[in-house]
Amino acid sequence: MNIKLEKIKENLSEKFDKKQHQRASEIIKRLKPLYRKIFAEHHCNLNSVNRILEMSQALSIANIKKDHNANSDPILKYFWSNADKWNLLNYVNYYCAAGKIIYKEALSKHIGVSPKTLNKYINEALDGDYFIIMAPFLENLKDNRILNIRPSIDTTVAYIDWHVKNMEENFKFATNYLDLPETFEELKSKLN
């Protein structure tokens, strides 16, 4: 993947025409409450428009990497191919980690796809060894006809690896652009 952050020169707003100036001002005004939530409000002025643009690039790069990382993994590629499959993986992983029962009918309600479509996705995931059938570790199955779905070990590891890579990108973003509190305790208190 050959995409990188392009540095934008300072004082860029001095080169804006009237329309560009109005657009930048409106974007900054609307971003300010969003950036306040992540300690980046200090960039929300026309003098820092270069940083706003670099942040936008960094967010785009992070999402391009998310897509690349999912598509380059043979397991995750199956789920990433459409939003319903990705949502299916999220729900199955959640219920597995929570030790709760999850089965086709319940998943169909959560995801909002037809039972026939969901059946197809689950059967493909089972056939591909992406999912397995296994009893939950906290709840008891009262009906032997229920097939409790779990991600396979390889799927679990690929899923977590994908999220860790995304967090690494988020940490890079945070250290480059955010004015974070000095201690973790201060950060926790500001986030709560």
Residue range 115-155, pLDDT digits in tens: 999 999 999 999 999 999 987 776 666 666 667 899 999 99
Q: Tokens 């001095």, residue?
A: 14
Give strand pairing partners of 149: 133
Alpha-carbon Rg for the chain in angstroms? 22
Mean pLDDT within 52-67: 94
Tell me how far apart the terminal alpha carbons of the chain are, to the nearest angstrom.
Answer: 37
Task: With 0.75 as the threshold, say if the pTM is over it.
Answer: yes
Query: Which residues are CB-neighbours of 33 under 8 A, at least 6 positions away?
Result: none
**Residues whose CB is less than 8 angstroms from the CB of residue 156 and which lie 6 or more positions away in sequence, other chains included:** 93, 96
Within 13 Å and on the Cβ side, how many CA atoms surround 119? 4
Q: Which stretches within the chain are classed as H helix? A: 18-37, 49-71, 76-80, 83-98, 104-111, 115-127, 153-177, 184-191
How far apart, in Å, are the Cα atoms of 49 and each of 32, 36, 82, 88, 173?
12, 16, 35, 39, 17
Residue 55 above 70 pLDDT? Answer: yes
Sorted by sequence, the CB contacts under 8 Å of residue 57 that are 6+ apart come out as: 5, 6
Mean pLDDT rounded to a whole number for the chain: 89
Residue 182: per-residue pLDDT: 74
- What pLDDT score does 186 carry? 74
Domain boundaries, the chain: 12-72+162-191, 76-151
The pLDDT of residue 192 is above 80: no
Which contacts qualify for 23-30: CB closer than 8 Å, 24 or more apart? 24/49, 24/52, 27/52, 28/52
Quick one: average pLDDT of 23-51? 93
The pLDDT tens digits for 5-22 are 888 888 888 889 999 999
Give me the CATH topology for the region 76-151.
Arc Repressor Mutant, subunit A (1.10.10)
Could you give the percent of the chain with pLDDT greater than 90?
A: 63
